[in-house]
A and B are shown apart, each in its own frame.
Chain A
């Protein structure tokens, strides 16, 4: 059972607000990922990290930013939320070695920007 947590689970916020979505994992995984997913649609990678102080942009352009100061923590920040940011945001992590491609997901944060 994967131990990866996301808070908040649901967030409704007004346009222009700054928000931070939290993601933490207790598995000691070095790699972490953020995906954006519209309901029932495919997942799009927006950020990933190979370890502390490593962050890269994913395949889908996003106005969000991430940081990786601690191995277990990978928060995502939106400086000024807009309605176009409304979506589900999923955090995932994976370890090293032979199973390094097996990504384990958190429950997601459903963001609604009004």
Chain B
């Protein structure tokens, strides 16, 4: 099936540092979504992107929908301990009526105090 390549797979940073992660695909996507998952919980939607080139912020989080529609990135500024978790990108393929998402493999973020 279609795959999203998410990188890096894991990150170990110091509190206060900025974080950047991205997702790429060989396929074009209509929609990009970014989720965060805490241990033992379901993913929580952070940001949704609907237009190529769109740049959207949610507090310290900023995400962009790539111009080619084949990639997206998520930045977190001034990381804090509660940012720890697994971040997933998800994309919706332009198949009529599908409205299904494909998920990346996740980026595990660890913060050293």
Known: A42-B105, A42-B106, A102-B33. A107 touches B42 (CB 8 A): yes
Q: Are B108 and A90 in contact (CB under 8 A)?
A: no
Q: A102 — nearest CB in chain B belongs to which residue?
A: B48
Give the number of A-B contacts (CB < 8 Å): 59
Q: Are A99 and B42 in contact (CB under 8 A)?
A: no
Q: Interface size for chain A: under 10, 10 to 19, 20 to 34, or 35 or more residues?
A: 20 to 34
Q: Are A101 and B42 in contact (CB under 8 A)?
A: no
Q: Which of A1-58 contact B (CB under 8 A)?
A: 2, 6, 31, 33, 40-45, 48, 50, 58
Q: Are A31 and B99 in contact (CB under 8 A)?
A: yes
Known: A40-B108, A43-B88. 6 other contacts (CB 8 A): A2-B45, A40-B106, A100-B99, A101-B31, A102-B33, A105-B42
